[in-house]
Amino acid sequence: MPILEPTGIGRVRKFLENKEQSIGIIVHTNPDGDAIGSALGLLNYLQGLQHTNVQVIAPNHYASFLHWMPGNEQVLVAEDHREKASEFIASANLLFCLDFNELSRAEQLGADMEKSSAKKIMIDHHPDPGPGFDLVFSDTGASSTAEMLYEFITALSGEKVLNLHMAECLYAGMITDTGSLSYNCNNPRTYEIIACLMRQGVDGARIHRLIYNTYSADRMRLLGYCLSEKLRVIHEAHTAYISLSSEDLARFHHREGDTEGVVNYALAIENIRLAALFTEKEDHVKVSFRSTGDTDVNRLARQYYHGGGHKNAAGGKSFESLKKTLEGFETLIKSQAVSHGQ
Ligand code: 5GP
Ligand code: MN
């Protein structure tokens, strides 16, 4: 893998020499399975190397179907511990930034990191890395950041360093970022890494159950409601979208993570190339895009929704009302602003 060139790994090895130094592992806002899996995989690795002062920090709360991962109880959630998180980042020697490539993706923690004199190491698979990092490991060809973490950890210490806890976290990251190996999954290397993780004793069926088959009844009913009442299909624009108001969310006692995966159902309709989910939040509308083939939702999210992501999975925000946001979106897709390529 070219991005793990020996000089980069050599510098990391030097950075990691001091076992007492303060190391932060930071993930992006609304962390997903890849962010948490990568962070906890790295935490388990560093603690295994006898690093004594490692702290994973998430900007905000995340879905409960990720809470089973080994080390989860050590994650500091900054929205509950604002000062502690800022103080840790200010006095850290080393900061790992995982699954994001622009400091602003970690919101307030991004501003904290910008001020910190810590060395910042980014490991990420999104396109167009931003400034502010001392060392960049960027691979847009990787299925997930967790896949990159496998390469990173084994480049530093060899396969013998792996253990079941690390493997479970990295496996969860790879599985969630590839829709259980249903997209971003055409690279043989991905399966070689999955095989190595399996050899550590990962129980794939158990992890699938913990992530995907732990719906609350409310969450399942919310999904049903989205599909039967809230799905709008615009065939001529190859687009389908779902929108959820705060009242919709309250009706189903919405909790963090309940709408995860909903957008994929809109993309599963024949001839649909662009799917969107609009979720009304306190001061903005969260926008989630998925696409197939050449339809570039990263561009769409960057250009119109203050966001970004990957070509086929991206997100952003609208600061207009839900109604205006939906009207704007329909105008946009009917105006051919989105090219579906061939
Ligand atoms: P999701 O739709 O699951 O929230 O996010 C899908 C993809 O878009 C992820 O790769 C995520 O990192 C990216 N993404 C989501 N929201 C934002 C955002 O506000 N800004 C940027 N730059 N990327 C986002
Ligand atoms: Mn990812």
Q: Token digits for 71?
A: 């080390």
Q: How far is CA 37 from CA 27, 204, 285, 302, in A?
A: 10, 14, 27, 26
> In the predicted model, what is the mean pLDDT of residues 191-216?
98
Instruction: Assess whether the C-beta atom of 314 lies below 6 angstroms from ligand 1.
Output: yes
> In the predicted model, what is the mean pLDDT of residues 164-185?
97
Residue 207: pLDDT above 50?
yes
What's the CA-to-centroid distance between 308 and ligand 1, angstroms? Answer: 6
332 with 305: CB under 8 angstroms?
A: no
Instruction: Assess whether the C-beta atom of 257 lies below 6 angstroms from ligand 1.
Output: no
Q: Token digits for 214?
A: 């732990």
In this predicted structure, what is the pLDDT of residue 4?
62
> In the predicted model, what is the mean pLDDT of residues 271-278?
98
Judged by DSSP in three states, 49 sits in coil
Report the nearest atom of ligand 1 relative to the CA of 263.
2
> In the predicted model, what is the mean pLDDT of residues 64-92?
98
Q: For residues 171 and 194, give the distance between their C-alpha atoms in angstroms, rounded to a whole number.
A: 7
DSSP letter at 128 equals S
Mean of per-residue pLDDT scores for the chain:
96
User: Of 3-7, 185-189, 226-230, where does mean pLDDT reach its minimum?
Assistant: 3-7
How much of the chain exceeds pLDDT 90, in percent? Answer: 96
Residue 339: pLDDT above 80?
no
Strands 94-98 vs 23-27: parallel, antiparallel or unpaired: parallel
What's the CA-to-centroid distance between 314 and ligand 1, angstroms? Answer: 5
Strands 285-291 vs 313-318: parallel, antiparallel or unpaired: antiparallel
Residue 313: pLDDT above 90?
yes
Query: Which listed CATH number (3.40.50.880, 3.10.310.30, 1.20.1250.20, 2.102.10.10) goes with 217-339?
Result: 3.10.310.30
Residue 2: pLDDT above 60?
no
The CATH class that applies to domain 6-211 reads alpha beta
What residue spans define the domains of the chain?
A: 6-211, 217-339
Residue 1: pLDDT above 80?
no
Report the nearest atom of ligand 1 relative to the CA of 305.
19
Q: For residues 185 and 211, give the distance between their C-alpha atoms in angstroms, rounded to a whole number.
A: 19
- Residue 293: band (very low, low, confident or very high) from pLDDT cuts 50, 70, 90: very high
- 275 strand-pairing partners: 240, 290
Report the nearest atom of ligand 1 relative to the CA of 302.
22
274 with 314: CB under 8 angstroms?
A: no
DSSP letter at 66 equals G
C-alpha Rg value of the chain to the nearest Å: 20
